[in-house]
Amino acid sequence: MEKAQLVFVPASGMGHLVSALEVAKLLLTRCHQLSITVLVLNHSSVSSKVHNYVELQKASSSTISNRLRFIDLPKDETKLFNFSSFIERQKPHVKEAGLKITQSESSVDSPQLAGFKIRDEENFNPIEFRGSTAELPVPTLVNPFPARIMPSAMLSKEWLPPILDNTRSQPPPSGLLATPSDYEDPQEILPEGFFHQTSGIGKVIGRVGSTSGCLGSFSNRRIFSHCGWNSVLESIWFGVPIATWPMYAEQQFNAFEMVIDLGLAVEIRMDYRNDGGVIAYSNEIERGIKCLMEHDNEKRKKVKEMSERSRMALMNG
């Protein structure tokens, strides 16, 4: 394999930067012909922890340190941080850095830049995928992902690039936020006469503690879930199969992976969105619950097996 180089441009948040560099290190460890350049985005609001972490990586004397280098982009001094605007202002700096990389490594022995891709988000309209029958290849999935069940944020031209106008641009609330509290008696907050009107047709259940606390109970062998990733991981850990009813964020993606790719859950309605006008009918809910209740259900066996494997993965040795 010829020498090749990748360019990483991670977001300047600590969580994004650390995970990106861990991936870079893994690639460099496995491929000795590869080198990676990290372009460090810089803003006056960036935490000192980020700068200290980058400096620590620069000073590293590991076996891959000579193939991992950093380029600090010019500092953005704009006082009010808006993620979208910040990225727009960084584009010329990224372009200039990429040009310098290609110009400085023109010799035969230098690693060649494998690729530098910039997505044209201005001319992409995600609304076209609403109701579409298209199926999208996703590298982390075994099966193509149906466009019709994409999360709402991914189908909005306003929210998609770059997903959100980062909430860090919002000023912090003044004063102290009230801490949510539980009610020992639900009648304190429910409409007058609610219990009488629903008697015999429903049951009010108060807060029952954490999800893991419920799943850890031997009496609870099934879960009806919106497919938040924490709930998904906890259900696998405790070997409890899921009936999936995703509503927003990345939950449709999680449900698809659990139901179609991994076969660890049953579907209620994967294309449901709390803002999409799609209705989950009673027969769909009934079908999903009955499927979970079957004692010889194949999915229950697979979830139990995956639970055992997940616990083995954390054992020493």
Break the chain into its structural domains and give their ranges. 4-113, 126-164+203-317
DSSP bridge pairs for 137: none
State the Cα–Cα distance between residues 277 and 271, nearest whole angstrom. 10
Residue 203 pLDDT: 62
pLDDT of residue 30: 85
CA distance 8 to 215: 40
Strands 68-72 and 112-113: unpaired
- CB contact at 8 A, 44 and 138: no
Which architecture characterizes domain 126-164+203-317 according to CATH? Answer: 3-Layer(aba) Sandwich (3.40)
Q: Do domains 4-113 and 126-164+203-317 have the same CATH topology?
A: yes
Question: In the predicted model, is pLDDT for residue 169 greater than 50?
Answer: no
CATH classification for the domain delimited by 4-113, as one of 3.40.50.720, 3.40.50.2000, 3.40.50.300, 3.40.309.10: 3.40.50.2000
For the chain, give the mean pLDDT. Answer: 76
- Give whole-number Cα distances, 15 to 11, 18, 274, in Å: 9, 6, 29
Q: Which of 14-28, 256-270, 286-300 has the highest mean pLDDT?
A: 256-270
User: Whose CA is closest to 80, among 49, 45, 50?
Assistant: 45
pLDDT of residue 119: 43
| In the predicted structure, residue 285 carries a pLDDT above the cut 80 | yes
Cβ count near 250 (within 10 Å):
15
The per-residue pLDDT for 132 is 77
pLDDT at 53: 87
Residues 177-192 have pLDDT tens digits of 554 455 567 677 778 8
Structure tokens at 212: 């893991």
As a whole number of angstroms, the distance between CA 315 and CA 212 comes to 20
Q: How confident is the model at residue 305 (pLDDT cuts 50, 70, 90)?
A: very high
Residues 6+ apart with CB under 8 A from 131: 148
Each residue's pLDDT tens digit, 32-62 = 888 888 998 888 878 788 888 888 888 887 7
Identify the pLDDT of residue 121: 46
Spatial distance between the Cα atoms of 244 and 227, rounded to a whole number of angstroms: 6
pLDDT score of 300 more than 70? yes
Whole-number pLDDT of residue 108? 52
Residue 15's contacts (CB-CB under 8 Å, 6 or more residues apart) are none
pLDDT for res 76: 86
Lowest mean pLDDT, pick from 107-111, 150-154, 188-192, 245-249: 107-111
d(CA 240, CA 301): 10
Token digits for 112? Answer: 């060649």
Average confidence (pLDDT) over 168-176: 52
Q: Any idea how long the chain is? A: 317
CA–CA separation, 22 and 11 (whole Å): 14
What's the rounded Cα separation, in Å, for the pair 262 and 18? Answer: 28
C-alpha distances in angstroms, 131 versus 34, 125, 152? 42, 14, 12
The residue behind tokens 């891709």 is 117
Higher-pLDDT residue of 312, 294: 312
Please report the pLDDT score of residue 115 as a whole number.
Answer: 52
Query: Does 135 have pLDDT greater than 70?
Result: yes
Q: How far apart are CA 45 and CA 213, in angstroms?
A: 39
231 pLDDT tier (thresholds 50, 70, 90): confident
